[in-house]
Each structure stands twice: as C-alpha cells, then as structure tokens.
Copies of this chain bind each other. A is one copy, B any other.
Amino acid sequence: MKALKISEAVVRRLPVYLRHLLELKQREVLTVSSQDLGQKLNLNPAQIRKDLAYFGDFGRKGIGYDVSYLIQQIRHILKLDQVIPVGLVGAGKLGHALCNYTVYLKDNMKIVAVFDAQESKINTEINNLKVQPMSDLIPTVREKQIRIGIITVPATEAQHVADQFVEAGVEAILNFAPVILRVPPNIRVHTADFTTDLFSLAYYLSDNGKEVPAE
C-alpha cells in the first residue's frame, strides 16, 4: 500500500485481469496463480504480481490469489464498486452499439443519457433512453451527475462536443472520433480509435500480397 504513481500501462491491465477473474468466478474457480493468469492473458507472471502488489498484498504465498477477493479489490481500485453515470453523444450505429453494451457493464457503469445534434434522432428511443437535443447536454450532465462522457460523433464535431462535456463538468472522456482532443489537463481522455488499430495492422501484412500490377 504505497503512494507511488501508478503508470498507465498498469492501470490498463487491471480491467483485463478483472475480466478474466469474472470468468473464472463464473466457472467457480476459487483460486488462481500469477502463472495461470499470465498463461491465459499472454503476460509475464512477475508483471502481474508486481501490478497487483502496487495496491496491496492480495495473494497468499504458496496458494495464489482468491478469485472473489481479487475481483472485489480490483473493482475497488478501479472505482467500479459504485455505479458510474455515463453520458453519450452521437446516436448513430456506434452509439447504439455502445448503449447495448450497458448490459455487460451493468454493475459498473451506466449510460444514463444520450444526445444527438440531428433533429431526426431526437426523441427516438435507445435502450429505454430518449435521445435528447444538444441543448440538453450541459443541464442534464449536471443534473444526473454524469462523470464520464462518450463521444461517437464525426471527427469534425468531436472537439465541440468535448468542450461541452468539459464545461458541464465531466471528469473523463472516451473518444471514438479519429481526432486528438484538446482538453484541460485535469480531464482524462482515452481515445478508442479503431482506424489506428486497423491501419497499424496493415503494416504487419506480408509484402507479397496482390501487388499493384507492375507498371
């Protein structure tokens, strides 16, 4: 239990641990070693032990980690032992898809409001939520105490939406638009940009694909 600064790499692995632990729990596995976890998650066991040890002594020498206890601890570390209200802007296909995931996120995060700029989308229903106009954003974020904003609008709109989220007082933003957002330093932004993933994949393709016909 030190007061070290935890690197982002560590923080990003915690949800991966959590997810696998939940699966183990469902399979009624009671205990797991860093060895086992590493095997499943393609990670070095020492790294897993070190990651967890930043936050406490969760394991037992000679035994491993109690699955339920570790779940509880990671939930606490990630602040997922409370339900976090989330807002989403952009009621397109992607926004829709994310709303459906709410089921999966259940006890951890809940999308409590959806906004869109397009007239035609407003008042349509997504997952029991009425899509609201952009003018509702700031008051609704405040009223519903929304802490995380999700942006699934076109790249050209994303900065504007981010500005409004910031003004309304969200603490963090998950941005799906392929754009680097400018926000104050106290706001955390993660970018979930699948074009980056996809384009970087191309780099690893073999060279001898169907070449451009030799000119």
Query: Which A residues are within 8 Å of any B CB, using their own CB?
Result: 8, 11-12, 14-16, 18-20, 40-42, 77-82, 84, 86, 92-94, 96-98, 100-101, 104-105, 108-109, 145, 147-148, 150, 171-172, 174, 176, 178, 180, 188, 190, 192, 194-207, 209-212
Contacts and interface: CB of A to CB of B under 8 A. Distances in A.
Contacts of A15: 195-196, 199-200
The oligomer's copy count stands at 2
A119 to B, nearest CB: 20
A97 B92 contact: yes
B195 A194 contact: no
Given A81-B212, A180-B42, A16 B196 contact: yes
Contacts of A14: 199-200, 203
Residue among A14, A188, A194 with max Cβ neighbours from chain B (10 Å): A194
A209 B82 contact: yes
A172 B201 contact: yes
B180 A201 contact: no
Given A81-B212, A93-B97, 5 more contacts: A80-B199, A80-B202, A104-B178, A148-B205, A174-B197
Contact of A212 (B82, B188, B200): B82
B180 A204 contact: no
B148 A11 contact: no
A23 to B, nearest CB: 9
A16 B179 CA distance: 9
